[in-house]
A and B are shown apart, each in its own frame.
Chain A
Amino acid sequence: MSPELRWQRACRLTLALGLVLALAVAGYMTLGAVGKWSFVLSYRGEKLLTILLVAWTVPAATVLFHVISRNPILTPSIMGFDTLFVLIQTLAVFLLGSATVSAWPPQLVFLGELAVMVVFASLLFHWLFSRIAQSLELLLLVGIVFGVLFRSVSGLLQRLIDPSEFLIVQDRMFASFSGAEPQVLTMSAGLVGVATLWAIWRLPAIDAMVLGRDAALAIGVPHRRLTAEVFLIVTLLVAASTALVGPITFFGLLVANVAYRLLPGAPLRLTLPLAGLLGAALLVAAQVVLERVLGFAGTVGIVIEFLGGLIFILLLIERAR
């Protein structure tokens, strides 16, 4: 595919998806509104912001994770990344009680969770990548086992704690786009901003990682350090999205792989925005159709995860052939 053709296609896709997104946003803000407009718009605006933030964060994390794992089937979530975040939250409530946790300023809690997540994820996954990264199947298996383990431990702890405390934690166990607390939204937005700028700054070097370790080193890309950096960026992005809407497993996989098919072999400066735009159009349109038009409240996460799950299975089958 020639660069010109690729650029043309990217422009056309951007235009089409931008149009879909604009329509969906208009529908989302206006359909079925009752009461004062100023209230409706500001309330919905905040929720929309959450959705758009996640629509960028999850695909970006997934695409970047694909670069370092050099595999388009893995996602941070399949590797148990976001269940780890849930576990940390549950553990905090279990050990300290929700009264203590909610008495702290939410910003502080968020930063604390983030710090634990970054340290733990770095240790865990660095170890994973350096020890068993040679075998993708093993890596995938270990990741899934970790995911299940984190989930089960969280589940166990949630059963042990007080029912009223449980409600607080349970709220965060399933992806829900019903909007996050304003403080968390601000913090996450800031975090995503920092991670995004960092990624943009390093993008040309990150792009060169598709060559693999040896060829990347031969052209002067500090492969090891860059892998660690991208790892950290991914961790920050996953932490932000999990704090906002809870764990999402397959959404990023779905969007990323559609983007790869639409622009095969494209550099990240094209793939990343396309994936974000696709994600945003998909999420907002799904909200409008499922919740506003069909009236199925709270089903967006489930439907999108179902589609993503299908893609995951298709990709696995395709690989096996």
Chain B
Amino acid sequence: MIRVENLGKSYAGQWVVDLPELELPRGGLTAIIGPNGAGKSTLLSMIARLQSPDRGVVTLDGQDILRIPGDTLARRLTVLRQDNAMAARLTVSDLVGFGRYPYSKGRLTGEDHAKIEESLALVELQPYRHRFLDELSGGQRQRAFIAMVLAQDTEYALFDEPLNSLDIRHAVSVMQLLRRAAEELGKTVVTVLHDLNFAARHSDRIIAMKNGQLQFAGPPHQVIRTVALRDLYGIDLNVSRTDGKLMVDIYG
């Protein structure tokens, strides 16, 4: 379980994350939604120790994350950042291979190679394994980074807008992939999503943030409500139910 206590981050006197208390239970898929600038990325960064909070603590299964050695943490929790600008020339398989670093420290074993293959297959990138990242489309590159996270095989995996620049087919397949990771492999998946219908359909819990604060949280059927979402985003939208499935119509 990831627990956040009194967590805060401020820029220029403004709290961009201000969470007295938040729990992300073990297992399942948690979606974080909210408008741009709500503090979602900052929250994930602090949980993964990429940024240091200005106050408060994050605990992982009861342990303060700042007390966990870096290589131990990297075998338990990882994060895929929103923007993965990469200056260096790297091939897809080299990139995915870095996901095995916490285990093999750069000397890939047979097991590592098997994991790399498996991850490449899951995101359907085997034909591109020897391509350089700058020879891929944006969506293919995004899938390569997702494969790297999968290869790292951590119990907790945080994704910041993983569906960015994916076509519908691959957006669906990545979403199902995350779903399966949670369901079949028992991983704890936390992902920032902008597509409310994906969040409604595939998540076990939804956390809504706005202005750095927790707006509401709960299972989809409780929180995917017209009024709550209108309030969260400040636009006109409608939630309907067809065949028991939630549909959010945001198209005006």
Across the interface, do B79 and A220 meet the contact criterion of CB distance under 8 Å? no
Q: Give the segment of A37-45, A94-102, A159-167, A209-217 that binds chain B.
A: A209-217
Option from A204, A207, A265 in Cβ contact (under 8 Å) with B91: A265
Across the interface, do B132 and A265 meet the contact criterion of CB distance under 8 Å? yes
Answer whether residue A186 sits at the interface, using C-beta atoms and an 8 A cutoff.
no
Across the interface, do B98 and A219 meet the contact criterion of CB distance under 8 Å? yes
Given the known inter-chain contacts A3-B93, A70-B88, A265-B88, please indicate yes or no for A220 contacting B102, CB distance below 8 A: yes
Q: How far is the CA of A220 from the CA of B70 in the complex (A)?
A: 5
Across the interface, do B152 and A219 meet the contact criterion of CB distance under 8 Å? yes
Given the known inter-chain contacts A70-B87, A210-B88, please indicate yes or no for A217 contacting B130, CB distance below 8 A: no
Answer whether residue A130 sits at the interface, using C-beta atoms and an 8 A cutoff.
no
Name which residue of chain A comes closest to B101, CB basis: A219
Interface size (A, Cβ < 8 Å)?
Answer: 27
Given the known inter-chain contacts A71-B87, A205-B106, A211-B86, please indicate yes or no for A218 contacting B93, CB distance below 8 A: no
Beta-carbon contacts under 8 Å, B3-38 to A = none
Number of A-B residue pairs with CB-CB distance less than 8 Å in the complex they form: 83
Q: How far is the CA of A265 from the CA of B93 in the complex (A)?
A: 11
Size category of the binding interface on chain B: 35 or more
Across the interface, do B70 and A215 meet the contact criterion of CB distance under 8 Å? no
Answer whether residue B221 sits at the interface, using C-beta atoms and an 8 A cutoff.
no
Answer whether residue A295 sits at the interface, using C-beta atoms and an 8 A cutoff.
no
Contact with A along B68-93 (1 / 0, CB 8 A): 00111111001111001111111101
Given the known inter-chain contacts A204-B101, A205-B106, please indicate yes or no for A218 contacting B79, CB distance below 8 A: yes
- Which residues of A sit under 8 angstroms from B212, Cβ to Cβ? none
Beta-carbon contacts under 8 Å, A252-266 to B = 260, 264-265
Answer whether residue B48 sits at the interface, using C-beta atoms and an 8 A cutoff.
yes
Name which residue of chain A comes closest to B71, CB basis: A220
Name which residue of chain A comes closest to B73, CB basis: A220
Which of A1, A205, A207, A213 counts the most B-chain CB atoms under 10 A from its CB? A1
Answer whether residue A135 sits at the interface, using C-beta atoms and an 8 A cutoff.
no
Answer whether residue A208 sits at the interface, using C-beta atoms and an 8 A cutoff.
yes
Q: Give chain A nearest CB distance to B40 CB in angstroms.
A: 15
Q: Give chain A nearest CB distance to B151 CB in angstroms.
A: 10
Q: How far is the CA of A206 from the CA of B5 in the complex (A)?
A: 34
Q: How far is the CA of A188 from the CA of B78 in the complex (A)?
A: 42
Answer whether residue A221 sits at the interface, using C-beta atoms and an 8 A cutoff.
yes
Across the interface, do B49 and A217 meet the contact criterion of CB distance under 8 Å? yes
Name which residue of chain A comes closest to B145, CB basis: A215
Across the interface, do B91 and A220 meet the contact criterion of CB distance under 8 Å? no
- Which residues of B sit under 8 angstroms from A219, Cβ to Cβ? 74, 78, 98-99, 101-102, 152
Q: How far is the CA of A210 from the CA of B91 in the complex (A)?
A: 12
Given the known inter-chain contacts A210-B88, A215-B84, A220-B75, please indicate yes or no for A203 contacting B106, CB distance below 8 A: yes
Answer whether residue B67 sits at the interface, using C-beta atoms and an 8 A cutoff.
no
Q: How far is the CA of A218 from the CA of B105 in the complex (A)?
A: 14
Answer whether residue B172 sits at the interface, using C-beta atoms and an 8 A cutoff.
no
Across the interface, do B105 and A204 meet the contact criterion of CB distance under 8 Å? yes
Contact with B along A190-210 (1 / 0, CB 8 A): 000000000000011101101
Q: Give chain B nearest CB distance to A141 CB in angstroms.
A: 19
Q: Give chain B nearest CB distance to A59 CB in angstroms.
A: 18
Name which residue of chain A comes closest to B70, CB basis: A220
Given the known inter-chain contacts A2-B130, A204-B107, A205-B106, please indicate yes or no for A218 contacting B74, CB distance below 8 A: yes
Across the interface, do A218 and B78 meet the contact criterion of CB distance under 8 Å? yes
- Which residues of A sit under 8 angstroms from B94, Cβ to Cβ? 265, 267
- Which residues of B sit under 8 angstroms from A211, Cβ to Cβ? 86, 88, 95, 98
- Which residues of A sit under 8 angstroms from B79, Cβ to Cβ? 214, 218
Option from A2, A218, A220, A221 in Cβ contact (under 8 Å) with B50: A218
Q: How far is the CA of A315 from the CA of B91 in the complex (A)?
A: 22
Contact with B along A39-57 (1 / 0, CB 8 A): 0000000000000000000
| 8 pairs of A and B residues whose beta carbons are closest in the complex | A204-B106, A220-B74, A210-B88, A220-B71, A265-B89, A2-B130, A219-B101, A220-B70
Q: Give 4 new A-B contacts, CB below 8 A, not counting A214-B45, A214-B50, A219-B152.
A: A70-B87, A220-B74, A221-B70, A264-B132
